[in-house]
């Protein structure tokens, strides 16, 4: 289990998605910039038991947690710069948490417990 204050950045993607396959290298590039932040790649089909009942309609979808609280959930442009900005802003605490549905809060708890 991770410390409550730690940032967890999760990319929800699918192996069959060409955009996701291309984005994975960018995700790993951003991960290398923040060794103190935990990054996790979740294939929504391979780990459907973890993700369900959250619906992921567009890729890449990113979930960022601070402790157990989701502070961002949504689709991002498949560019490293977009993810860098999200992580930097959430680390700095310069943005309010993004409202998320209850099933995303439940996913956050499962991800935090599995990390």
**What are 26-77's pLDDT values in tens digits?**
999 999 999 889 999 999 999 999 999 998 989 999 999 988 889 999 999 9
| CA distance linking residue 98 with residue 16, whole number of Å | 28
Question: Looking at residue 3, what is its pLDDT?
Answer: 46
Q: Indicate the domain borders of the chain.
A: 7-114
Residue 18 clears pLDDT 80, i.e. is over it? yes
CATH number of the structural domain 7-114: 3.40.30.10
Q: State residue 45's pLDDT score.
A: 93
Tell me which residue of 35, 43, 37, 34 sits closest to 11, measured CA to CA: 43
């Amino acid at each position: 289990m991770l410390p409550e204050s730690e940032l967890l950045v999760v990319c929800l993607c699918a192996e069959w998605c060409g955009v996701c396959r291309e984005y994975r290298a960018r995700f790993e590039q951003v991960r290398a910039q923040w060794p103190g932040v935990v990054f996790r790649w979740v294939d929504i089909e391979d780990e459907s038991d973890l993700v369900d009942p959250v619906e992921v309609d567009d890729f890449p979808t990113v979930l960022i947690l601070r402790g157990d609280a989701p502070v961002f959930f949504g689709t991002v442009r498949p560019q490293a710069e977009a993810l860098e900005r999200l992580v930097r802003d959430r680390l700095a605490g310069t943005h309010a948490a993004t409202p998320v549905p209850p099933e995303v809060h439940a996913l956050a708890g499962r991800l935090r417990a599995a990390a």
